Structures are given as structure tokens and as C-alpha cells.
Structure 1
Amino acid sequence: MLCADKSAWLITNHAPQLILSGYDNIDGDIIAVDAGLQSVYEHRLSPTVIIGDMDSLDPALLHKYRDVPLQRHASRKNATDTELALDWCTEKGYGRIVICNDMQGRFDHCLAIVQNLLDLYRKGIDATIESEKQRIFFIRESLSLEGKKGDLLSLVAYSPTVRFVGSIGLEYPLQELVIQQQQSRGISNVFERDEMSLKVAEGEVLAIYTPL
């Protein structure tokens, strides 16, 4: 059973040196994903569990955390270490998950993380990918964001058709806008003020927020 107040922060192999929220402001359990344990160590975080095949992790570093529960997987497997960590979080009932990843590594791995995000969204989990410069998440019917004038919000259709009811505070209004899955129509909308809101009538929408 999911618990909305139970949060997990996945520190992945490609966790950025900085995240938008700030590592000091993490408000949940730390999940070290394979070589992400190096970032956990550098930021002096206390992991709840370490998950992965450990094939890219320094054994000496792993030894420093010998008292932390370890979920070791085979290197030949049918899921990425991040997906295995997300499966563990789902089983434990985390209702909110933040994946810390710079999204600058291999494109196939970045795309896989977005696919993982879609799976979490469909399971009713509040999930976000957070890097140094962006937040990536799926929208549930409506969205309200505080930011600054000039910030960017890109909207990507993840279903054949997305229909918007409308928006407030965006340079390019979304009133009754329809975006097809193959279109780039929703890229690089701009905050006209320090906050915005929108409503979705139909479809699955991936949002990428980029504060400037």
C-alpha cells in the first residue's frame, strides 16, 4: 500500500554534483543505486539501502557501508539498477520518489529512466527526475508551479493525443490546445510571471521544468 508521506530519494550512478532541491534539503530515505553510493559518500548522506549489481562500485567504498542493508543483483539481468531500486521502493510503499540523475549519460539509459517514470505515474506514485538544472515529471490533470518570469516549461505528449483545458501565466496559452504524440508543439513555453497553472483534459503529459 502506497503512503503519500513516505519519500525515497534515489542517488543514481549519474547523480549530479548539485540538485535543484539541494542535497541538504532531502526529506526522505536515501536509496543508493550501485555507484551512486559514491555521491552518497561525498554528500555525507545516510543510505537506507544499497541496490545494484555493484559491478561499477569500489569494494573499499562498499565496505564503509557494511552495516547498511544490501540488495545485490547479478550483472546479467533484465532491468537496470535504477529500475530494480524503483521496484524495491514500490514494494515498500513509497508514495513519493525523486530520482537524482544528471540525464547527461547514455541516451538509452536516460530514456529508460523516463520510461520508469511513466510506470510510476501509472501506478499512482508521485515521481520526479531531478538534475542540477531541471525537474521532469508527469502531470496529473492539473499543474501549478512557482518559479520566475522567464523560466521554461516543456510539455511532451506521451499518449496519442493530449488535450489541454487551458493555462494561466504562460507566454503561449494552452486553451483547448491539442498536441499529437509525434509533435514538438509543447516545447519551450515560458513563464510570464512567477507562477503558472494549467489543466489537462485528456492524455498523458510529460513536463520538463527548467528554471533560469
Structure 2
Amino acid sequence: MQPRVLIFSGGRLGPWALQAIRQDDILIGADSGALFLINNGYTPHLAIGDFDSVTAGEFELIQSRSRKTEACDPVDKDYTDTELAMIRALSFQPSEIRFIGALGTRFDHSIANIHLLVKANEARVPAVIDDAHNEIRLTDAELVIRKAGFDQVSLLPLTPVVTGVTLDGFQYGLTDAVLVMGQSLGISNILLKDEGVISVKSGMLLVIQSRD
């Protein structure tokens, strides 16, 4: 079985972020995400980015404690650190990519990282953005989600229109529904079972599981 790849970015991180790590995961640290892993006793398989969020001494530590480091110029680059990490992650042909620390105070970076779910979907690699209160996925076909402590589920179109939305296992059911950007119909549904199934005929749908 192909390994999972966990990408640790420089957004909100904490003890919760370490609970996702399995022994056979490939760990990629994007910029200060690499430092977070090292400071918590983990060795990144790859540290990547411009490292403008760490000091010179911290960068030396990252280089010495990571299996591989790829540093790029902070000005002359076309991708964010997290996207660079994802490009490398796809080269492992992973069974799943999990983005951890991809949400934070920089709303522009948070949105850009959510858009990376599109790139994963195009590669047909399951992907999820994790933080302490949310799991965010994207689907354009069928998606099975599990409760796992996240009872609230919101559905938000990532394309102007999403058609053929059908839900099974939810308090508020939909059958062949149409969801449109700017409409709040898909907000705050509830999983009734341990699993729920979301089907889509066309368009891309963000599936956000949340807990307070």
C-alpha cells in the first residue's frame, strides 16, 4: 500500500497536529512547519520552502535534522511553500495527502491552500486539510465521510454551480439537488450515522466537517 504524505505548514499548529502522524507516514515540512516537526521530535523526510519564517539558526537546525532540505529564493518563485510541498508530495504517488497547519491568520494563504485540494483532485489523490476544529475535503463525484468527532458538515460549492447533490446518512437529506455559490443551503448539516455518503454529478463541492 502506498504511504500517506503529511504536509506541515506554518499556519495554526499545536499538540493536536501530532495526533495525525502514523509510523509509516512521509512527513514534509513547509518552511516553519519543518521546525514544528523537529521541535516535537520528528524528522522530516523533506523540508522545503524559502524559510523566511525562521531565523538563520533555526534554518541550520532544519537542515541538520531533516533527511533532505530544498530551499528556494523567497522572491524568485512562483509557488507558495505549501504548493511546493504538495508538488513533491504527488511524486510519492501517495494514498492520501493531509495538509496540517494550512489554515491560519493569513486568509489569503488559507484560501490558496484550500484551492490545492483541486490540484489533488485532478491527480485523483484523496486529500484533506486538518486543523483542531475542521476537516476539509473536495469532491466532484462520490465521497464517503466518517464522523470521527466532527458532527457538523457543511457543503459549499467551489465552482459556480454544483449539480446532482445527493446525501445519504444526514439529518437534512438532498436528492439530485443544485447548490449555487452565494447560497447557504448546504451549511450545518448533521451526520446521523458513523458514515455519510455525498454524491455529485457535476461541479466541485467543498465538504467541511467541523466541531466547536
Which range moves more in the overlay, 151-160 or 196-205?
196-205
1:62 counterpart = 2:59: yes
Match of 2:170 in 1: 170
Confirm or deny: 8 A CA contact 1:165 1:175 kept in the other structure: yes
Confirm or deny: 8 A CA contact 2:38 2:44 kept in the other structure: no
How much identity, in percent, do the aligned residues show? 24
Distance 1:92 1:206, change over 3 A: same
Distance of 1:150 and 1:30 partners within structure 2: 24
- The CA RMSD measured in Å over matched residues stands at 2.4
Normalized against structure 2, the TM-score is what? Answer: 0.87
User: Secondary structure, in 3 states, of the residue corresponding to 2:46?
Assistant: strand
Distance 1:23 1:203, change over 3 A: closer
Alignment of 1:13-92 (within 5 A): 13-19=10-16, 22-25=19-22, 27-64=24-61, 65-66=63-64, 68-76=67-75, 77-92=77-92
Distance of 2:85 and 2:143 partners within structure 1: 27
Q: Which runs of 5+ in 2 are unaligned?
A: none
1:118 counterpart = 2:105: no
Match of 1:158 in 2: 158
Normalized against structure 1, the TM-score is what? Answer: 0.87
Alpha-carbon distance, 1:92 to partner: 3.8
Distance of 2:52 and 2:149 partners within structure 1: 44
User: Secondary structure, in 3 states, of the residue corresponding to 1:88?
Assistant: helix
Amino acid at match of 1:7: R
Write out per-residue CA displacement over residues 140-181 of structure 1, whole angstroms, 9 at most, x where no aligned residue. Answer: 522222327981111111223212352222121111211113
Q: Which runs of 5+ in 1 are unaligned?
A: none
